[in-house]
Structures are given as C-alpha cells and as structure tokens.
Amino acid sequence: MNKIVFAPQGFKESLTGIEIARAMAAGARHVWPDAECTLVPVADGGDGTLQSLVDASDGTVRTASAVDPFGAEIEVQWGALGDGQTAVIEMARSSGLAIIDPNSRDPLRATTFGVGQVMKAALDVGFSHFIIGIGGSATNDGGAGMAEALGARMLDSSGNELERGGAALANLDRIDLSGFDSRIADVRIDVACDVNNPLCGPTGASAIFGPQKGASPEQVKQLDTALRRFGEVVARDMEKDVMEIPGAGAAGGLGAGLMAFANAHLRLGADIVLEAVELESKLDGADLVIVGEGQFDRSTVFNKSPVAVAQRAKRLGIPVIGIAGSLGAGYHEVHEHGIDAVFSLVNRPMSLADAMADTARLVERATEEACRAIAAAKG
C-alpha cells in the first residue's frame, strides 16, 4: 500500500475530524508502516465544519463580538482558513438552538443579527470568500437581522425601524439600503444548505421548521405571513424574488436573506467542504480511502460527507472503507454509494460513555483490523 487518504468527519461530542484521522493513520501504520498517509478531515456543512476546514487548511480559529438570538452579548468563534481569504461561519454559533435554553425558544423574537456581525468582523480583516453553514438555527426572520447588522434598515409605514425578529416583519413597509455595507458586493459567499424548502407556504420555513424552534400552530401562521411580507418587499425594493428558490426557507429563511442581500450561492454542504479541502487533488495516486463518522445508518447516504468522499474516490477506481462509532438501521445502504466495507469501533460490550472516552484507541484498533483484512485479501 503506497498511499492512503484518511477523510473522516468528527465524531460528535467526542473527537474532531483531524483527531480521528490521526488515530486512523496510526492503525494503518501497524499494517503498512511505509505508506504515505494523507489526512483530510471533512464535514458536510453541519457541526464540525469550521474545525474541519481550519484543520485541513492550517488555518486559525478567531472570535468576534456578537449577540445571541435574543440580543445578549456573546463571543463567537469563526474560522480563518490558511489561504488568508476564506472565512468559515457557522450561523448556529451566534443564532442557533444549541446556545439558548430550550425553555426560552421564541422564533417570533429570535434574530440573525449575530450572523451579520460575524460576517462584518470577517470583512473588517479583509476576507473575500465566506463559507457559511446555516444548520441548527433558532430563528425565523428571513435573514433580516443579518442584513440589519450589515447596515440595512427594515422600516414600517411611518419610517420607524422594526423590532428584530420574525414576527415584526409583518409590519415591513420598505427596506432602506443606503447604509448597507458595500463590501459585501465583492465577497463570494457559499452557503452550506442541504434542504430545498421555499421561503413560505406549507413546505416553507415556518411550517416545516417553526415547531422545532418553539412555534405553536398559530405562531406558524403568523410567522409565515410575516415572511411572505418580507419576501414581497425584497422583491419590490431590491428586485430580487427569492421566495420560491429551493433552499430559501433554510434556517428560518436565512437562505433567502443571504441570496437577496449578499448574492450568496446555496450548495450542498459536503460539496463545499470537499472543494475547500481540495479533496480531488489529494486523491491523486491513492490506493485506499478511509472515511468515518459517529454512526453509519440510512441517513448517511443523503448528502453526508462519507458518501460524498466515496463517490469521488470511486470515479478514480479507489477502494473505500468506513470506520464508524456504531452501525444503525440501514447502514448497509452505503455499499450502494461507494463505501465497500464498514467497521464498527465497538469490539466488546461497553457503554456509550466508555466508548466515547476511549475513541482514539478504538478507532486505531478498528482501522488496523480493517487494514489487516485488506492485506490478507491481497495475499
């Protein structure tokens, strides 16, 4: 075995992608000590994307002052990639469900203002390419808050600025862009978006995602009406009709806001990440690819990074094996999508806590055994 590419994503609440890749490489070296090991931590646009891209590019994690969904001051991490031009922003770090008390969810008031503040911080230090992950939002404001942080003003019929949050958009009369940050026009923005929902209607942001953010049936109707008004004013004042574009409803409509105010491109998260880490070039000359995630199950085949990596490897005729913390229902479906064999870390009865505490060693052992099986098959 001359060259092996290790391209796992992080195991949630355990190890990062680069830590998993290092453990995999240690296991493979027990079998092929002279193999060239190329470590390429990946992600699918969700949790772990920032860290994976920073690690893969020799970048750094920076912080910016921002507000949470309800206006409290917080410090938010964002990634500065090694190219010196690309910033990675996870909207959930400033405007996500994970950073608020579950009993405090209120999509009527929650704002994406913090997302815009982090974008502005990256602009202030000269970054010209943004990768923005928009999963896990607590908001339903169409990205209006994000736009306000960048200088837009949402005005009612009396010329007063609206309160932040999705509900207030029902009173939107016009959008004033006279103070909007002009630097945004020169930034390329890729948005990691794996849903196709429109902004409004029965499959829109409010109806599909509102309840998980705390919206009652009546509030869903209220928010949907408010987003429809927002979309109508955006179309009229900005001459950008984004309401029906697939993905406009992602993250409570932040997908629509980023397209309207920042000319963003919505793309599959795994595609964005694999392009950013230059996976194609790193696969050149590889004899084997090893992918991994916390659990392989039926959902893995839907735009998740292990399958995205495997499909690219298969186009080059490279075999792919997967290492997982556990194997869930339907895991075998990954074999139809480029992953030739999968191996679980759990090699004896153990609790989840014990497995998570010993992840690195278990990954090393599982990878070693997988590689021994390949070596034996090759004779």
On the question of pLDDT at 16 being above 80, the answer is yes
209 and 109 in one domain? yes
Closest by CA to 299, choosing from 44, 52, 51, is 44
d(CA 249, CA 229): 14
Q: 3-state DSSP call for residue 259?
A: helix
Sheet of strand 341-344, all strands in order from the earlier edge strand to the far edge: 36-39, 3-8, 288-296, 320-327, 341-344
Q: What is the pLDDT of residue 154?
A: 98
On the question of pLDDT at 229 being above 90, the answer is yes
Angle between helical axes of 250-262 and 217-238 (0-180°, round to 10): 10
**In the predicted model, what is the mean pLDDT of residues 184-208?**
95
Asked whether residue 375 is assigned to any structural domain, the reply reads yes
pLDDT tens digits, residue range 159-193? 999 999 999 999 999 999 999 999 999 999 999 99
Q: Is 204 exposed, middle or buried (0-12, 13-18, 19+ CB in 10 A)?
A: buried
Tally the C-alpha atoms within 13 A of residue 200's C-alpha that lie toward its C-beta: 18
Q: What is the pLDDT of residue 82?
A: 95
131: left (phi over 0), alpha (psi -120 to 50) or beta: beta
On the question of pLDDT at 360 being above 80, the answer is yes
Q: What is the pLDDT of residue 279?
A: 96
Q: What is the pLDDT of residue 308?
A: 95
Percent above pLDDT 70 for the chain:
98
**pLDDT-based confidence at 47, cuts 50/70/90?**
confident
CATH number of the domain bearing residue 33: 3.40.50.10350
On the question of pLDDT at 211 being above 80, the answer is yes
Asked whether residue 301 is assigned to any structural domain, the reply reads no
168 and 68 in one domain? yes
Asked whether residue 210 is assigned to any structural domain, the reply reads yes
Q: 3-state DSSP call for residue 301?
A: helix
111 and 30 in one domain? no
146 and 211 in one domain? yes
Asked whether residue 326 is assigned to any structural domain, the reply reads no
pLDDT tens digits, residue range 275-286? 999 999 999 999
Tokens of 258: 């980023």
Closest by CA to 191, choosing from 123, 129, 98, is 129
225 and 113 in one domain? yes
Tokens of 68: 């949470």
On the question of pLDDT at 349 being above 80, the answer is no
Q: What is the pLDDT of residue 352?
A: 66
**In the predicted model, what is the mean pLDDT of residues 29-49?**
92
pTM attached to this predicted model: 0.88
**pLDDT-based confidence at 18, cuts 50/70/90?**
very high
Q: Mean pLDDT across the chain, nearest whole number?
A: 94
Flag the least confident range among 65-74, 83-92, 327-336, 339-348: 339-348
Q: What angle do CA 259, 264, 267 make, to 5 degrees?
A: 105
**pLDDT-based confidence at 357, cuts 50/70/90?**
confident
On the question of pLDDT at 350 being above 70, the answer is no
Angle between helical axes of 17-31 and 359-378 (0-180°, round to 10): 40
pLDDT tens digits, residue range 59-104? 999 999 999 999 999 999 999 999 999 999 999 999 999 999 999 9
Q: 3-state DSSP call for residue 57?
A: helix
6 and 90 in one domain? no
Q: 3-state DSSP call for residue 157?
A: coil
d(CA 233, CA 277): 38
| Domain assignment of residue 284, given as a range | 1-11+25-42+277-290+306-319+355-379
Asked whether residue 338 is assigned to any structural domain, the reply reads no
pLDDT tens digits, residue range 124-133? 999 999 999 9
**pLDDT-based confidence at 134, cuts 50/70/90?**
very high
d(CA 43, CA 98): 19
Flag the least confident range among 234-243, 333-342, 354-363: 354-363
Asked whether residue 183 is assigned to any structural domain, the reply reads yes
**pLDDT-based confidence at 347, cuts 50/70/90?**
low
242 and 208 in one domain? yes
Q: 3-state DSSP call for residue 137?
A: strand
d(CA 263, CA 184): 9
On the question of pLDDT at 353 being above 80, the answer is no
**pLDDT-based confidence at 356, cuts 50/70/90?**
confident
Percent above pLDDT 90 for the chain:
87
Angle between helical axes of 49-57 and 269-276 (0-180°, round to 10): 20
282 and 204 in one domain? no
d(CA 368, CA 189): 40
CATH number of the domain bearing residue 156: 3.90.1510.10
On the question of pLDDT at 358 being above 90, the answer is no
378 and 283 in one domain? yes
Q: What is the pLDDT of residue 13?
A: 75
To which residue do tokens 């806590």 refer? 353
Helix, strand, coil percent values for the chain (each to nearest 5)? 45, 20, 35
153 and 60 in one domain? yes
Q: What is the pLDDT of residue 80?
A: 98
d(CA 172, CA 361): 56
29 and 89 in one domain? no
Asked whether residue 329 is assigned to any structural domain, the reply reads no
Tokens of 116: 């815009």
d(CA 7, CA 279): 9
On the question of pLDDT at 48 being above 90, the answer is no
Closest by CA to 199, choosing from 160, 233, 149, 238, is 233
On the question of pLDDT at 114 being above 80, the answer is yes
**In the predicted model, what is the mean pLDDT of residues 106-117?**
98
Per DSSP, which regions of the chain are E strands? 3-8, 36-39, 60-67, 73-80, 86-90, 129-133, 153-155, 174-176, 188-192, 265-267, 288-296, 320-327, 341-344
pLDDT tens digits, residue range 230-256? 999 999 999 999 999 999 999 999 999
Tokens of 173: 């009369």
- The number of distinct structural domains making up the chain is 2
To which residue do tokens 């060259």 refer? 3
d(CA 113, CA 147): 7
178 and 218 in one domain? yes
